[in-house]
Amino acid sequence: MRIRKLVAALALGATIAPLATAGNHRPDSKLFHHIATFDVTENAGSEVAEIVDATRNGKTLVYTDSEQGLIGFVDISDPSSPQPDGSVPVGGEPTSVAMHRRYALVGVNTSTTHEVTCVEPGDDGVLGTADDESEDIEFITGWNGELAIIDTQSRVLVHKIPLGGQPDSVAVSPNGRYAAIAIENERNEDVDGGILPQGRETIDSDPCALQATGPSEPGRLMIVDLQGKPTRWSTRSVALTGISDVAPDDPEPEFVDINRANQAVVTLQENNHIVIVNLRNGKIINDFPAGSVYLMNVDTVEEDLIHLDTEIEKRREPDAVAWINNGLLATANEGDYEDEFGDEGGSRGFTIFHKRGDGNPTFESYEAFEHLLVSAGHYNEGRSENKGVEPEAVETGRYGNQTLLFVGSERSNAVGVFQTRGRRAPRLLQVLPTGMGPEGLKAIPRRGLFVASTEAEAFGDGIPTMINIYQRKNGPAAYPMIASADDVDGLPIPWVALSGLAGDPWDADILYAVSDSFLAKGFVYTVDVSAKPALIIDRLEVLSDGLDLEGVAVGPDGSFWLGSEGQSPGGRENRVLKVDPDTGDVLLDIALPADLIDERRSNGIEGIAVTGSAGAEVVYVAIQRAWPDEGDTDESNTKIGRYDVAGGEWSFVHYPLQPEGSGGWIGLSELTHLPDGSFAVIERDKGWGPSTPPNAELKAVYQIDLAGAPFAPYDQTSANGGLVTIDKTLLADLTPLIAKHSIWTAEKLEGLAVAADNQVYAVTDNDGVDDAPGETVFLHLGDLERLGEVD
């Protein structure tokens, strides 16, 4: 097993060396760079973007919006400035779209459903008692669909072809002679636990007791002969029963792609099988099981920690599939089925097969794709017990003399880009950040473009469903901007949610970062900024519970001083910790004054700085937002605290916050001691992105003088606590720079550090990829003396 793992890791480039040197090619080599993001809500009435295709000239994108029952259009004549271009309703749920000449071929699901309320016995096991539990379940009662054909020039639906079943994927052959449609006729997942095969009964008077129900006929492949006008197109059906080992009488085809030899590859996802069909005569020329993968060093427990310590075996259960050439095909092994034994499929990676094979792959990524995303800070720990990074999408394209393979991770919001090399292992080129849940991938080689559309959104946080556009250009990879090296066991150092930053006083190449409460334990990360990208080379666990580390500083004796944010009364306390840099032991644990603790809210200590000598340190902390003692409606002031370690006393001043705008509340996120004795703070709003409220308006660095500030003890009985408000000076507005380096302007600018050579760095918190894109922006801002000149 160890030999197998090492070969896979070296071949895929899952160790950090290839990721860290992803742009280390010839100076004239080309990689993809993000150039634009399109918010699909700019198309009036549109909400999501799932599958995406492009017109023949590559200047218009066409995407499916299943939520609103339409296809949307995006004008990318200027790909750096995509524009809304309208939409067309399709009379049902569009599941897939593929372009043929001037026509968009849209698979539309028109199945009928029936919603019932099932009442199950409560904890006492007796039906009819007070603790009964009810659940509304939507059953599919009639599996049906059609192929909608839309003229993309007139935007008119010109023809519909009945499909007699539920379409899930549409592909058009490169020569334009055929379309192939995967008719899934999906199972009712809430009937009999969703176990295949499902019978053909209809819903009776007691659907909760029904053991099985299924479509009138099994899933199949539909071939459309694209000759003449759409009204003259004819269809042929290819049966897919009796093939797979899993539920052979109940196939559920998921995805289809067509090569230049007019051969279709079809994935039967739940059946864990792959079928090759000759479209000329509709004959199956090969089929084979997708098989299982033995994974090592993966996380399978959702405990708010990333532990790469488990070995599992999983069925591949491929979702998307794409031809690399006429012989090789690649699958994204998402998984979608839990069998009667409770075993769930999904092997967390991708596989390359040969069409004439028997199921033995020519290449398997094993756990290396997941490790790649761990090292990039994109691992979504909340999916560990399910299917990990859950690769769902795969696409190929020929760019110059390279055939590139794109693999999209639905749960980690990223796309891996690889160069295929025939039967040799593919070579990692780069990782691209996306919006939430990338599902539709489209290569547009003739324009040097690649497009990723996302199906998920977090509108409450200002993050819409989006289409991201990348252009192939000369120069090194722009992302990731920070990644992790391998630990002593050869595994990537896990990290997410960087929330504080500090420079090493003696080594200009070293910074320290901390992670917040997204992880159940607090860590201090050592960052080597001489590497490109910046490299996390070590992490130290802080040996204390109940931490939300938001600030880090290095004391005069080399100890770490950490600020841990508290919660409103009843939650964890705000704490200042002095920590041994070698062991992680807490040497001092300091609380805020008791009368101030009584007034606290959940936005507490966010930044920390330290001056003085060993044993006589003076520690400063920034409180993120105004606490209730300032008055429930007064959000204009927050506090900077000072703690005299030798005297054991706290004192405070007020800091004046900017007025709140459309970006939501304003608060502090960092406190940094500057070489001239003054201090810098990060002041920011809650906004994301450029358009959907709350808008990102303020991500700025201000300078303050604390050495001469009139600090005083907090007096609960005096107006404003008896505190004086200090002055501030703007050093730099980083909002434009963060926007330039983000796919959707990041909300949480949380870390600022000045290295020993006066170079300034900043970092954003990626929220652990939880209802967030997961992108980490790590900025080298240049020399401190020119901070105000950054652009």
Sheet with 363-364, side-by-side order of all strands = 321-323, 328-332, 350-354, 363-364
Tokens at residue 733, please? Answer: 């507005």
Give the strand pairing for 234-239 and 220-225.
antiparallel
- Give all strands (DSSP E) within 217-364, no chain letters: 220-225, 234-239, 253-258, 263-268, 273-278, 283-289, 292-298, 310-315, 321-323, 328-332, 350-354, 363-364
- In this structure, is the dihedral angle defined by the CA atoms of residues 713, 718, 721 and 725, taken in order, positive or negative? negative
Q: In whole angstroms, how large is the CA radius of gyration of the chain?
A: 28
Q: Is 413 left (phi over 0), alpha (psi -120 to 50) or beta?
A: left
Q: Which two tokens stand for residue 752?
A: 């600022």
Contact yes or no for 569/600 (Cβ under 8 A): yes
List Cβ neighbours of 374 (8 Å cut-off, separation of 6 or more).
Answer: 306, 308, 484, 492, 494
Count CA atoms within 13 Å of residue 672 on its CB side: 32
Q: How far is CA 658 from the centre of its chain?
A: 31
Distance CA 322, CA 346 (A): 18
Helices 368-375 + 2-12 axis angle, to 10:
60
Cis before 289 (ω within 30): no
∠ CA 322-328-332 to the nearest 5 degrees?
A: 40
Q: Closest Cα partner for 624 from 614, 639, 611? A: 639
Backbone torsions φ then ψ of 335, nearest 5 degrees: 85, 145
**Three-class DSSP category at 737:** helix
Nearest alpha-carbon partner for 667 in 619, 604, 725: 604
- Contacts of 151-159 with C-beta under 8 Å, sequence gap 24+, read 151/102, 151/103, 152/55, 152/60, 152/62, 152/73, 152/99, 152/102, 152/103, 152/104, 153/102, 155/73, 155/86, 155/88, 156/88, 157/88, 157/90, 157/91, 158/103, 158/230, 158/231, 159/230, 159/231, 159/233
Cβ contact 566:615 at 8 Å: no
- The encoded tokens of residue 459 equal 């509108």
Separation CA 297–CA 487 (nearest Å): 13
Q: What pLDDT, on a 0 to 100 scale, did the predictor assign at position 16?
A: 29
In sequence order, which residues have a C-beta less than 8 Å from that of residue 26 and are 6 or more positions away?
none
Token readout for 679 is 């201090």
Per-residue b or e along 226-258, where b marks 16 or more CB atoms closer than 10 Å to that residue's CB: beeebeebeeebbebeebbebbbebbbbbbbbb
61 CB burial (10 A radius; 0-12, 13-18, 19+): buried
- List, in sequence order, every beta strand (DSSP E) within 173-252: 178-183, 220-225, 234-239
Query: What predicted TM-score, i.e. pTM, was given to this entire model?
Result: 0.94
Residue 456 CB neighbour total at 10 angstroms: 19
Rounded-to-integer distance, Cα 210 and Cα 345, Å: 25
d(CA 302, CA 300): 7
Q: Which residues pair with 650 in a beta bridge?
A: 643
Q: Which residues pair with 175 in a beta bridge?
A: none
Please give the single-letter amino acid code of residue 92.
G
How many angstroms separate the CA atoms of 672 and 681, rounded?
Answer: 6
Alpha-helical segments (H) within 563-647: 594-597
pLDDT block averages, 10 residues each, the chain of length 791: 35 40 56 97 94 97 97 98 98 98 98 77 48 68 94 97 97 98 92 82 55 76 97 98 96 98 98 98 98 98 95 98 98 96 96 96 97 98 95 97 97 97 94 96 98 89 93 96 97 97 98 96 98 97 97 98 90 95 98 86 93 96 84 73 97 95 94 97 95 89 96 85 93 96 96 98 96 96 89 71
Phi, psi of 740 (to 5 degrees): -65, -35
Instruction: Kindly list the distances between the CA atom of residue 630 and the CA atoms of 624, 640, 686, 702, in Å, as whole numbers in the listed order.
Output: 13, 14, 20, 22
Q: Which residues contact 572 (CB under 8 A, 6 or more apart)?
A: 546, 547, 548, 564, 566
- The CA angle 330-331-337, to the nearest 5 degrees, is 170
Task: Say how far apart CA 702 and CA 709 lie, in whole Å.
Answer: 15
Q: What is the pLDDT of residue 1?
A: 32
Q: Do residues 141 and 113 lie in contact, with contact meaning Cβ atoms separated by under 8 Å?
A: yes
Q: Which helix (H) or strand (E) holds 374?
A: helix 368-375
Alpha-carbon gap, residue 426 to 361, rounded angstroms: 13
Amino acid type, 254: E
Contact between 481 and 534 (Cβ < 8 Å): yes
Identify whether 480 is preceded by a cis peptide bond (ω within 30 of 0). yes
Name the token pair of 641.
């605290």
Give me the residue label for tokens 């302007």.
Answer: 745
Contacts of 299 (CB under 8 A, 6+ apart): 306, 307, 308, 309, 310, 379, 381, 384, 388
Cis ω before 391 (30° cut-off from 0): no
Sorted by sequence, the CB contacts under 8 Å of residue 740 that are 6+ apart come out as none
Tokens describing residue 550: 């938001």
Quick one: pLDDT at residue 129?
42
Q: What is the dihedral of CA 439, 440, 443, 448, to 10 degrees?
A: -90
